[in-house]
Amino acid sequence: MSSVVKTVTELVTPILEEQHFELVDLEYVKEGKNWFLRVFIDKEGGIDIEETAWVSERLSGLLDEITPDPFPQAYFLEVSSPGAERPLKKESDYENAIGEYINISLYQAVEGNKQFEGDLIRFDADTLTLNVRIKTREKEFTFERKNIAKARLAIKF
């Protein structure tokens, strides 16, 4: 974990706990010429715009007070909901996603593919099993968790 992400996680966690919000993800990334500090939050029943604005204001004030400044360059702070395609990071995210339609990206291809979408059937510490629809049939795939680069909820069309 980068020092910026670690520092911001330590700052934002008490703010979120005070309101019973959850830290879903936090990233510090460069896109084009700009740097972004993105904080994704949620709560039971979903987060609204007023709540994200409240967290943004509180966090922004705390970030301005840090000495020395941990940010090597200027950045944009974004606090938002993870959205419909919420990333699956923690064990509890996977538990809540059993029976849901998800997307996974793999480090190494399985049967020639690095992306799969399907219903999450089960998972454990080592594997994750999806029921994937291929044209008109369904097939179960079991993936090694160490081969999963990213996982997120997906929208079924």
d(CA 20, CA 33): 35
d(CA 108, CA 120): 20
Tokens of 34: 């700009």
Instruction: Kindly report the number of other CB atoms within 10 A of residue 44's CB atom.
Output: 8
Q: How many helices (H) and strands (E) in the chain?
A: 3, 8
Q: What is the pTM of this model?
A: 0.80
Output the pLDDT for position 39: 96
Output the pLDDT for position 56: 97
Output the pLDDT for position 40: 96
Output the pLDDT for position 98: 97
Could you say which residues of the chain have pLDDT below 50? Answer: 1
> Which residue ranges form the domains of the chain, and what is each CATH number?
3-80 (3.30.300.70), 91-153 (2.30.30.180)
Q: What's the half-sphere exposure (Cβ side, CA atoms, 13 Å) at 131? A: 12
Tokens of 142: 């079991």
Output the pLDDT for position 75: 94
